Amino acid sequence: MDMVAATPAAHVLVFPCPVHGHITCMLHFATGLLAAGLHVTFLHSDHNLRRAAAASSPRLRYVSIPDGLPVEHPRDVGRIVELMESLKTKASVAYRSLLASLLLGDATGGFPPVTCVVADGIMSFAVDVAEELGIPALAFRTDSACSFLAYLSLPRLLELGELPFKDGDDLDEPVRGVPGMESFLRRRDLPSQCRDCSDPDNDPLLQIVYGFTAHSGNARALVLNTAASMERAALAHIAPHMRDVFAIGPLHAMSPTAPAAGGSLWREDDGCLAWLDGQADRSVVYVSLGSLTVISLEQFTEFLHGLVAAGYPFLWVLRPDMVGASQSATLREAVAAAGKSKARVVEWAPQRGVLRHRAVGCFLTHAGWNSTLEAAVEGVPMVCWPFFTDQQINSRFVGGVWRTGLDMKDVCDAAVVARMVREAMESGQIRASAQALAREVRRDVADGGSSTAEFKRLVEFIVELSTTAVAAIKDEEYVASYVNI
C-alpha cells in the first residue's frame, strides 16, 4: 500500500461491531488508512477495549463506549441478538455523544475533528447517527460479497417462492433468485438465517439481516473485504444497489505491517509453531472453527475420531467455551489419548502464521470469511463445516466455485471427516486450484492489482468527503448546532 498525500485533516472513525472477526478485519483496514497518512480513531466497546491491550500511536487512538449489556453478560453466540439490540438501543446513544464531541477535535492538538465514519454495515444506526451529525459515513461489511448478495436477494427469493422451505424439505433443491448463482446454489447453501423460518415476512432475524444489508445503499459507499478475482460476479450484481462499492481485500494480505495492536481478544499460543517446525511438509491438518462456533460433545467426538482415522498429525484449536459445558481439560485429555503424539491442542492459535507454515496440508474450518480469505491467500486446501450465517454460502463457493476444498456442511460423521480430510490432503486437483487462486488473489493485493487500486480510490474518496466535512466543521455555528443536540 503506497503512502498517498492525504490531507492531514482527514480523520476516520472506524467502528466495528464488537465481535472478534469484525474487529480484526477492521483493524487491518485501519492499518491501511494509517499507512495512507490518515488519522484514525478506532471505536471498541468498553468490554473489548479492556481485553484488547490496545496501544495508541501518533495518528491512531482507541476509544470505547459501553455496549449497553451488564458486565456479567456472556456475549456469546447464543445471545448475539441481545448484543445487536443493545448496540442499537443503548450504545447508539453513547456513540452519538462521542461523535458530537469528536467533531470538536482534540484540544491537546493531537487529533483533528472526525471527518468521516466507516462503520460496520451490520449496525445501520452507526451510519445514520454520523450522517445526522453531518459526518459522511460509509458501510463496511466484513463478510463475503456472495453472502451480501444473497441477503440483498431475499425479497426476490420470497417473490419466487424459494422461501420459506420447511424442516424436512429437500435441501439439495436448486435455488433461483440470487443472480449469477442459479447453476450451483442449493437451499442448504443459503445463509443459515434462511432456514427454519416458516413465516419469512414476519421472521425477525431475516428482517434484520435484510434491513441492514439494504440499508448499506443509503451509505456513501459500501466497502467489502474481498477481491475481484474471488467475487467479481457478485460484486457486479451488488454495485447497482449501492452508491459506490469498493472491493479492497483481503486486507490482511494488503497491510505491509502487522495490524495496529489492539486486535486479538485471545492470547495466541505460539508454541504450536515450534511443534509445526518438527512436522514434515504438508503433513498436518489444521482444525479451527473460529471465534464463535459451538459444538456438542457428540460432534466433538465425531471430529476427533475422524481426524484420528484420517491418519495425519493435527493441530486443533479448542476454545474453552466451544464444546457445550464440557471441561476443556477433559477434552484435551481425550484428544491426547486418541491422537497420541500426532495431536496438538491449543486454545487459540496464531492462525495466519499457522496457515503460512510449510507443514500445514489442509484446513478443517467453519468457512468464516476471514478464515476463508486467509486460506485462499496461502493456497491451503479446505474442508468446510459451516456453522452459521454467511459460512453456508462461503463453503459452497469453496467446494463448487473456486474448487479449493470440500464442503461437508450438515454432516458431522467421523467417516466423512476422515474421507474428506484425506481427499483434501491428497488431491492434486484441489491443491492446484488452491494455489492458482492464491496467485490471483496475491496479484489483486500487489502493486497495480485491483484491490490495491480500489484501496487508493477509497482513500481519495474519503479525503474528498473529508475536505467538504472540514469546510463545514470550520463553521462554528454549524458545529455548535450539532454538539448541543
Q: Which residues are catalytic?
A: 22, 120
H or E element: which one contains 297?
helix 297-310
Q: How far is the CB of 199 from ligand UDP (least distance, A)?
A: 28
Residue (216 or 291) nearer to ligand UDP, CB:
291
Q: For residues 99 and 113, what is the distance between their CA atoms, to the nearest angstrom?
A: 9
Residue type, 266: W
Q: How far is the CB of 356 from ligand UDP (least distance, A)?
A: 11
Q: How far is the CB of 402 from ligand UDP (least distance, A)?
A: 16
Q: Which residue has the cell 492538538?
A: 109
Q: How far is the CB of 293 from ligand UDP (least distance, A)?
A: 6
Q: How far is the CB of 348 from ligand UDP (least distance, A)?
A: 4
Residue (303 or 369) nearer to ligand UDP, CB:
369
Q: Which residue has the cell 463553521?
A: 475
Beta bridge partners of 284: 360
Q: How far is the CB of 291 from ligand UDP (least distance, A)?
A: 3
Which stretches of the chain bind ligand UDP, using CB under 6 A? 20-21, 24, 288, 290-292, 317, 348-349, 351-352, 368-371, 374
Residue (164 or 386) nearer to ligand UDP, CB:
386
Hey, what long-range contacts does 469-478 have (CB within 8 A, 24 or more apart)? 469/115, 469/116, 469/134, 469/135, 469/136, 470/7, 470/9, 470/112, 470/113, 470/115, 472/134, 473/103, 473/113, 473/115, 478/134
Please, is 478 exposed, middle or buried when counting C-beta atoms within 10 Å of its C-beta (0-12, 13-18, 19+)?
A: middle
Q: How far is the CB of 79 from ligand UDP (least distance, A)?
A: 15
Please, is 89 exposed, middle or buried when counting C-beta atoms within 10 Å of its C-beta (0-12, 13-18, 19+)?
A: exposed
Q: For residues 121 and 129, what is the distance between their CA atoms, to the nearest angstrom?
A: 13
Residue (164 or 290) nearer to ligand UDP, CB:
290
Q: What DSSP assignment string belongs to 156-204?
A: HHHHTT-----TTS-TTSB---STT-TTT-BGGGS-GGGTT-S-GGG-H
H or E element: which one contains 361?
strand 360-365
Residue (82 or 132) nearer to ligand UDP, CB:
82
Q: Computed from CA positions of residues 385, 390, 392, 393, in that sequence, does the dihedral angle turn out positive or negative?
A: negative
Are 184 and 400 contacting, i.e. CB atoms less than 8 angstroms apart? Answer: yes
